[in-house]
Chain A
């Protein structure tokens, strides 16, 4: 048996074929509605979603609630402003400058903003960042995913998914901080659709560092 595409998982999760019996601990219809429309305190919403995760009847009720009313508004402040990335680099630059010496402070700050990041093995601030511009479509031929290196000896695993998070490709044990995506993998993604990828690094001391999820649209 295969879970297949996301639609199959979704249909199965929302009560597909399951006898639906609501229990005494099920949240009220009003609470499910409010949670589904982001009109509930997030802490209470989390409790309800925790219940919905294991209750087929409430999953079906939640799904029904999504048919009506307005979908949860997306607040602009949920998307991190571009300046936050700059601010993070400024903070990193500052930390590096302190380590390098007070005399280098100003110069180091400028350099960190202008040059690709270099992270030290085992450093507390180790972070994997995509080095492929997310605002430009990715070419299908020779699509190259690049990310910030975590130093000598690091080995990388890259997981690549379609926009609906259906797995497309996984590459293990990469020594280089880049991956050329096989064209046959991208043939399963339509023009203008997105791919999602993330990187996990294993450092020589056994430390694991995971990136966030990066999203790129294809040509």
Chain B
């Protein structure tokens, strides 16, 4: 297989990769976006070299490569800074300090409570809090929809009870 750099579609692929990186890259790392795109490009090149069937990468694969390169850079940045890197910067950093402290307290309360929940209820509540629907949660964890809905319902109820017991009352 010839190197990616020699292929006529390289520019198109690279532009797609840059768009995907832009989707995941937090504002504070925008200055490193070109480096992230380059890292993603090298991953893509490596993957294509390993692919004996020489297939064009699909949109989903490009997205995954861009995501992985971006998250690796985010993690390096976290280690360098050892301070908060907000994935939800656009909302979190614009909030008043009181709101940030409140969110931090609730977040810690949730994580403390998760340890105490019945395991499957905790898994279901975790994915629900991340924004997944019940069918998606069932798909990810290998459960039926019925079982998933019950575990989400009970997990969230247990979580709210636990938060209340910590003084974080609804």
What residues of chain A have their CB less than 8 Å away from a CB belonging to chain B? 1-4, 8-22, 26, 28-30, 32-33, 35-38, 40, 42-43, 45-46, 49-50, 52-57, 59-75, 78-80, 159, 161, 165, 167, 196, 198, 212-213, 215
Contacts and interface: CB of A to CB of B under 8 A. Distances in A.
Interface of B is mostly: helix
B88 interface: yes
Nearest to A15: B87
A36 B71 CA distance: 14
Interface residues of B, number: 76
A49 B123 contact: yes
Contacts of A59: 126, 130
A50 B110 contact: no
Interface string B152-163: 110011001001
A56 B136 CA distance: 21
Interface string B101-142: 111111110110011000100110111111111011011111
Interface stretch (B2-10, B49-57, B78-86): B78-86
Given A2-B169, A72-B139, A63 B82 contact: no
Contact of A68 (B20, B125, B130, B138): B20
Contacts of B165: none
A46 B167 CA distance: 29
Contacts of B42: none
